[in-house]
Amino acid sequence: MSAFDLAEWTTLVPEVRYGGNAMALPQQLRLLLVLMIFAVSLLPNRRFSWSWFTCAGIALAGVIALLPPFEYFIDPSTGFREDVNYNQLMTLALIALACATLGLSGLLSKLRRIVFPLLSALTVILALITSAEALVYLNRYAPAQMGIGVTVFCLAISLVGLAFLGSESKEGA
């Protein structure tokens, strides 16, 4: 399972949804997508280049993935607006959109060399900790184990962070 899948499954666990720190675990798991969107938005070296448009498209796809179901927007009287899960998704989608806008604006271009590796390391650490915590909750109700998805995700983020450092030392991404 990916972190996003784990976030959806953990919203079904009563302790996660209605416990003392309600929905904190799904929020942490979904925050990984927000961090990835921010990292992707930092990649392009020049504004309005092909890489900029590609990264903007990827960031937009990530923001769309974070949006709550279509019914959330259509009819406020259906009860979807009161659902804490959907409100969390909408909030994180707006935060991701703000992060993508900031990254693509070029305002952080001078800090990319510092921010991107730190963002990569934070994403990997958060992925490992929250995935393990999610599995603890899920194993109370059904057998669940960490699959290759989390491992591949962490390796991919690490490799992209290292590749970014290598490309920055030459000419930039």
> pLDDT tens digits for 61-109?
999 999 988 888 887 777 677 888 888 999 999 999 999 999 999 998 8
Higher pLDDT, residue 53 or 132? 53
Structural domain boundaries of the chain? 3-170
pLDDT of residue 146: 66
Distance CA 109, CA 103 (A): 8
Band the pLDDT of 173: cuts 50, 70, 90: very low
Q: From residue 69, how far is each of 26, 79, 165 by CA, in Å?
A: 16, 12, 38
Buried b or exposed e, range 8-36, using 16+ CB within 10 angstroms = ebbbebeebeeeeebbebbbbbbbbbbbb
Backbone φ, ψ for residue 21 (5° rounding)? -115, 65
Band the pLDDT of 2: cuts 50, 70, 90: low
pLDDT per residue as tens digits for the range 21-70: 778 888 888 998 999 999 999 988 888 999 899 999 999 999 999 998 88
pLDDT of residue 137: 77
Contact between residue 138 and residue 9 where contact means Cβ atoms under 8 Å apart: yes
Q: From residue 18, how far is each of 24, 30, 56, 85, 96 by CA, in Å?
A: 10, 18, 36, 11, 25
pLDDT of residue 169: 54
DSSP state of 58: H
pLDDT of residue 73: 84
Higher pLDDT, residue 116 or 151? 116
- The pair of three-digit structure tokens given for residue 104, joined into one six-digit string: 């693509």
